[in-house]
A = this chain, B = another copy of it.
Amino acid sequence: MVDPCRQPAIDSSLAAAQAELSGLFGDRLCLSQAVREQHANTTTWMAATPPDVVAFPRSTDDVQQAVRICARHRVPIIAFGTGTSFEGHVNAPFGGLCLDLREMNRVIEVHAADFDYVVEPGITRKQLNDMLRDQGLFFPVDPGADASLGGMASTRASGTTAVRYGTMKDNVLALKAVLPSGELVVTSRRARKSSAGYDLTRLFVGAEGTLGVITELTLKLHGIPEAISAGVCPFPSIEACCETAIAAIQSGIPMARVELLDEMQVRVCNAYSKLCMPERPHLFLEFHGSEASVAEQAERFGAIAGDLGGGPFEWAPRPEDRARLWQARHDVFWALRSYRAGAKVVVSDVCVPISRLAECVRETKRDIERSGLIAPMVGHVGDGNFHASVLVMMENLDEVARTKAFLDRIAERSLAMDGTCTGEHGIGEGKKHFMVAEHGRDAVDLMVAIKRAIDPDMIMNPGKIV
């Protein structure tokens, strides 16, 4: 929603800021309608609210100077990575300056022996992993989209490998951020652990750009496993999928990925990615380790799956088969977009304790049916996290209303099971109304107190989280 106060407040200060920003950025400052619209929110169903201007900084110094200019004139600043977030994170409801960090995509320091790299925030995960491959290293966090690392850190992203390698919270060792004052803070050094004061790294990871602009990240890397094996396994029901994943985790199998696709999602993927899986619920699996350990993990998993009615397992032993499989998983969003022509994809993102997962998925499935919605489901079931993606015709107001009601119910269902309304997509604009229900008034007030202490003029990505 555009704040009614916006235009007067912004207009008065923006003109002065814009002149100074123009001096700083020259032709790297864009005011064209097309560029501004590209930098509004593109992958959600929420209305796009473009920024007033877009700049393309090339250095931390550029960012600091831009922030100082904006701070003087109280102009909002929205950091922009690749624009692949789902919850309106890069919308500019109060206007302001969008800092598109795509040109800040360098690797700054290489510490292969320490398994860490220092990178700029605009580098994407595929760019990074392409560079790492020769070193025998990889960065494991994989949200599907080829997102920027700065954006992934800001939304505390995770994805398919979190069950084994953790989320961005676990894989950012340190970062640099420009505060609303223009000062630059370094949150930590490169030691693997430290107990030296407040955990500033984790304060910025997940803050969605509301406390400062991240200009550098020190990332934890992992050795490319000696052996990787992957496969798909059909199950008679979605509950059997969940129960198999839970049993496998409880038995200690260190799965690298364990992804649920319900039967409708399988149909969608078959159509888009030219696969021919039976139209039943599936788990997609990946195991990492030594040759012997991978074989043992797969064997143990197969036994558990068999006990719960799953199978037969189909292995993808060759790297190209594996790549095709995971590409299909990663293309889910685009497959959904093309499945129902003209529909928007509205992705929910709840996460519950795994003991409640099968129940939560089953109730959600029933809810989808009762609501008359089209909503295939995928899930990072090892974490208890799943997405029902509603395909909505936005001109059908009744369908939109049913979708909104469904989104509220799925969040409430998750909260009632001690889960969260968002496992990995963040709050942005889209889930602010769940914050008090999830955290309680006092915790939200504490977040507001932190926000005010760091950003008293509320210039950093206003209108998000709190």
Binding site for B on A (CB under 8 A): 111, 113-116, 155-158, 162, 166-167, 169-170, 179, 183-200, 202-203, 205-207, 223, 225-226, 246, 250-252, 289-290, 292-293, 296, 351-355, 383-385, 414-415, 418-427, 431, 434-435, 438-440, 442-447, 449-454, 465-466
Does A158 contact B352, Cβ atoms closer than 8 Å?
no
Could you show 7 A-B contacts with beta carbons less than 8 Å apart? A113-B246, A179-B446, A191-B352, A191-B414, A195-B424, A195-B425, A195-B426
Report chain B residues within 8 Å CB of A443: 185-187, 200
How many angstroms between the C-alpha atoms of A128 and B425 in the bound complex?
34
Residue of B nearest to A87 (CB): B195
Known contacts A184-B442, A296-B290; is-contact A196 B113 (Cβ 8 Å): no
A453 to B354 CA separation, bound complex (whole angstroms): 36
Q: Which of A115, A246, A434 has the largest number of chain B CB atoms within 10 A?
A: A115
Asked if B450 and A198 make an inter-chain contact with CB atoms under 8 angstroms apart, the answer reads: yes
Name which residue of chain B comes closest to A198, CB basis: B447
Cα distance A196–B422 in the bound complex, in angstroms: 6
Instruction: Give the docked Cα–Cα distance between A415 and B431 (Å).
Output: 41
**CB distance A206 to B195 under 8 Å?**
yes
Given known pairs A169-B202, A226-B252, the reply for A439 and B197 (CB within 8 Å) is: yes
Measured between C-beta atoms, what is the minimum distance from A331 to chain B in Å? 23
Taking A192-B351, A198-B207, A200-B439 as given, write out 17 further A-B residue pairs in contact, using a Cβ cutoff of 8 Å, ordered by the A residue number: A111-B353, A113-B250, A156-B193, A167-B195, A179-B446, A183-B442, A191-B420, A192-B383, A195-B423, A196-B427, A197-B206, A198-B203, A200-B443, A225-B252, A292-B292, A446-B454, A452-B453
Select one of B187, B190, B196, B415 contacting A189, CB under 8 A: B415
Specify which chain B residues have a CB less than 8 angstroms from the CB of A466 in the assembled complex: 197
CB distance from A409 to the nearest CB of B (A): 17
Nearest to A292 among chain B residues (CB) is: B296
- Which of the listed residues A187, A415, A431, A438 has the most CB atoms from chain B within 10 Å of its own CB? A438
Chain B nearest CB, measured from A169 CB (Å): 7
Q: Is B355 in contact with A194, judged by CB distance below 8 angstroms?
A: no
Least distance between A199 CB and chain B CB atoms (Å): 5
Q: Is the CB of A355 within 8 A of B293?
A: no
Of A289, A292, A420, most buried by chain B (CB within 10 Å of CB) is: A420
Q: B158 near A193 (CB under 8 angstroms)?
A: yes
B185 engages A446 (CB within 8 Å): yes
Smallest CB–CB gap between A29 and chain B, Å?
27
Chain B contacts for A431, CB-based, 8 A: 196
Do A191 and B423 have beta carbons less than 8 Å apart? yes
CB contacts (< 8 Å) of A449 on chain B: these are 453-454
A445 CB contacts on chain B under 8 angstroms: 183
Contact yes or no, B203 A156, CB < 8 A: no
Partner pick for A427 among B189, B195, B293, CB 8 A cutoff: B195
Among B195, B296, B451, which residue has its beta carbon within 8 angstroms of that of A155?
Answer: B195
CB pair A193–B179 under 8 Å, yes or no, is: no
